[in-house]
Chains A and B, each alone.
Chain A
Amino acid sequence: MSDFPIPVKPKSRLRIALDSDLFYTFRRSPVAMVSAVVVLVLVLSAVLAPLIAPTNPFNPASLNLMNGFTPPMTPNAFTGESFFMGTDDQGRDVFSTILYGMRISLFVGVAAVFFAMVLGITLGLISGYVGGWTETIIMRTADVQLTFPSILVAMLIFGIAKGVTPVEYRDQMAIWVLILAIGLSDWVQFARVVRGATLVEKNKEYVQAARLIGRTPGAIMLRHILPNVLSPVLVIATISLALAIIAEATLSFLGVGAPPTQPSLGTLIRIGQGFLFSGEWWILLFPAVTLLALALSVNLLGDWLRDALNPRLR
C-alpha cells in the first residue's frame, strides 16, 4: 500500500502494541482492568501463600482431624478453633488449602502452557521454515494429536507415566505428569499458528534480505520470524492457561489429577462436590468460586488481549 515504498523491516506487532496502544486500550477497558486486578491478587496470594496462609495444609503433622468440617467463622465444637473459610474433612483450613491449591493449579497451568508453547513454537517454526518432509511429519503428528481428544491424551500419558515412574517418585510425579499431559495435548494450536505465520513471514522482503546476507536459519527464525508471531502466541497462551487450569480440574475428577495430600483447586473441587448435599457447602463453594474467578479473569484478559493485540480488529 505504501505509495513510496521504503524497504524497512516492519516492527513486530507486539512491539508496536506495547509501545503505544496496549496500555491505552487497557486503561479504557474496565473489564480488562478488573480482571487484571483479580488475576494479580490471586497470583500474588498463591505465590505468597506460605506468608499469608494461617496454616500449611500440606504438612500432615499440623492437622487436627477433630477440626474437620468446621463451618466458616464458627468455633469448632471440639477444639474451639475458628476458621475464616471453615475446614474440610481432614480439618484443613479451607482458606489455606485454597491458597496452596491455587499455587499448584497455577504452577501446573503455567508450566503446561509454557511447555506446550515452547514445543509448539519450535515445531511450528521448523515446519513452516524448513518445509518438506519435516513439515509433513510434524503436521501429520499434529493431526494425530488432534484426532485424539485432549482428555484422553492426558489420561493416556498419565497412565503410561504412572507405569514407568519408579514407585517412590509417584507422589511428586503426579504434578509433572499433569504438566506433561496437558502440555502435550495443547501444543498443536501453537504449532499451527506459528507455522501459518512463518509461512507468511518467510517470504517477506526482510527475511529474504536476512537470508541473503547469510544469517543462519536459526537466527532468522529467532530474530526475525519469532517476534512477529508472538502476539497471537501470547493470546493463545493466555486462553490456554485458563483451559489448562480447568483441564487439570477435570482430570482430577477422573481421578488422574493432583494427589489429595497436595490438592490443586481442581482436586479441592472434586473433594468438595462430595459435600454438596451434606450441608458443608464451604468445602465446595470457596474453591469453586476461586477457580471461577481465576479462570474467568484469565479468560477475560486473554479476550481483551486478543482484541488489543490485533490492530486489524481495532
Chain B
Amino acid sequence: MSQQKVAIVGAGPAGLQAAATLVSLGVSVEIFERNGSPGGHLKQWHALFPHFQNATHALNPLLNGVKGITMHLGSKVSEISHNGNTWRLLSDDGLKYESDAVLLTTGFNLFDASRKEEYGYGVYPGVVTSAQLEEMFNGQRPWPFDKSLAAPKIGFVHCVGSRDVKCGNRFCSKVCCVTAVKQAIEIRKRFSDSAVTCFYMDLRMYGLGFEELYHEAQVNHQVQFIRGRLSEASPAVSGKIQVKAEDTLMGRPLKLTLDMLVLMVGMEPAVKLTAQNNHLALGKPGFGDGFMADRELNTPEYLQVTPGLFVAGACKGPASLPDTIQDAKAVSVDVYNFLKTKS
C-alpha cells in the first residue's frame, strides 16, 4: 500500500514537532504555513522561562527535525473538505493536496492590544507588547525610550486581553505572568539602575522553578509587584506615560510615570472556530470561545466528529512551549494509530 499521507496545517512548534514524529513513524507529511517562515512565535522570541534559555536553542532542533519535509510557506489553507476517507486541502495560492488525515496545528495569535485602547497601545510610542519586548531583546526592534536614560522606569501590565469579559476572553492565558517576571528580570539585568513595576491581579506562577524566579525578581532585582489592574495610561511630559492604578492591598490609588509600558498580551486562537466553519468543529468549541477541542479534557477517547481530523498544540487552548511539544508528540501517535486502522 502506498505510504500514507498527513497534511499539517501550521508550522509552529506544534506542527514542526508533529511532522518530525510522524516522519519518524514512516508517514509522509506536507506542512502548510501561512507565514513566510516556520517557527511560529518562537522565532521572534529571545529567552524562555524559567531559566532564560535562548529561544534558538528550542527552535533549531525543531527546524532540523523537519529537514527534507516539503513545506509550503506563505500558503494559507482556505478550504478543507472530506469525502469518503480522503481529505482535500485548498490553499489560497492555488495548491491542492489530498491526504489520509489532517492535523491542525494552527496555534494562537497574540491578543491585539489596541482593543484595550485605555492602555494607549498604538497611541503612545512607549506602550509595547510582551512580544515586541522580546524583539527588542533580540535587537530586531528599537527600544521606544532613549537607552542612555539615567534610571528608566518600566511597567508591566498583566492580563491584557485575558480574564477580561470586555475583550470576550474569560480564560487565563497561563504563561503571561511567568513571562512578565522573566522579562522584568531581563530588563533589570539590561538596564542596571532601571526601576520595574508589575501590575498584577493574581500572580500565577504555576510551574517548577517559577516561584524561584518570582523570588529572584523580588529580592535580587527589587521589582515592585502591585496588586491592582491598571485603569488607564495617559501621556506625560516628553513622551513618558503616566499610569494610574489602585493598589488594592493598600486601598489607595497610585500614580507612576513610566518610560515604557509592556502589555502582557494573552492568547487567542489563530483559527477561530465559529458557527460558519463548525463542520470543522471537533465537538463543541472548548473553553473560551474559538479554541478547538478534540476530546473531553480528562478522557482519552476522541470526539472524532469527522475521523481523520486531529488538533495539536495551542489551538486547543493557552499552552506553554513544553505543553505544545508534548501534545504534538502525543497526537502524532494517535494520528499514526488512526492511519494503521484505516489501511
**A, B from the same assembly:** no
A-to-B contact residues, CB < 8 Å = none
B-to-A contact residues, CB < 8 Å = none
